[in-house]
Amino acid sequence: MSGPLLLSLGIDRFLACQFPVIYRQLCSRSVIYLLLQLAVPIGYTTYITMSSYTQRDSETLVICQVPLALSGSSFEEFNTGGFIINVGVVIIYFVTFLKLRSLSVHESQLKVVFKSILYTVIFVILGWCTVTLVNILCIHLVADIDSQHIMMIYAGISLNMACASNVFVFYKINSDYRSAIQKLLEIKIPDKVYPMTSIIGSVTNGDLRKF
């Protein structure tokens, strides 16, 4: 469900940037809007799950690779659908990024927030896109089953790296996440002391000269 959820999140941010008035109206009915956002992810995941369940083969020995439990055409549907969804996520985030880049300087904080999310999504999407694309190519171009399994296992390395990179990306480029993670890990950072004497002194001296 992660790919469709990222697509829904991208659409949400696109609407917030491109159509703010309509977005506020949608958010005013939060329950209905949330159900609309979840409709595609839940529907897609339910279809893939039911499709794989109806085509299950109890006599097939599955090695330690979860997608191989998908039998028949459900495995190809999973990879094709996932690849299309991930490409859609990249497109929707790219269009939204172009919209954010055209905003005024006063919207710089919004750009910083989106930048942190954008980098994380790029890592995740590159991982999923690699896996689904390799799996599709294996199905149509590689005849030997053992070779297919080996290629799929190596392709999954990029996905695992992408999933594990989220926390490091957020920690590096977003101060809010950095402070939250430091608090979670009980890392104490010394507070900075800022001098205030110059402003107070100038005002005080000015007041004293009046007398």
In a domain, 83, yes or no: yes
Count of domains in the chain? Answer: 1
In a domain, 3, yes or no: no
In a domain, 188, yes or no: yes
Answer whether residue 201 shows pLDDT above 80: no
Answer whether residue 152 shows pLDDT above 80: yes
In a domain, 76, yes or no: yes
Whole-angstrom Cα distance, residue 55 to residue 57? 7
88: domain range?
69-210
**Is there a contact between 125 and 86 (Cβ–Cβ < 8 Å)?**
yes
In a domain, 36, yes or no: no
In a domain, 63, yes or no: no
In a domain, 82, yes or no: yes
Q: What angle do CA 20, 26, 28 make, to 5 degrees?
A: 105
pLDDT tens for each residue of 43-72: 999 998 898 888 877 776 666 666 666 777
In a domain, 81, yes or no: yes
**How much is the pLDDT for 112?**
67
Q: Which of 26-30, 74-78, 148-152, 173-177 has the lowest mean pLDDT?
A: 173-177
Answer whether residue 42 shows pLDDT above 90: yes
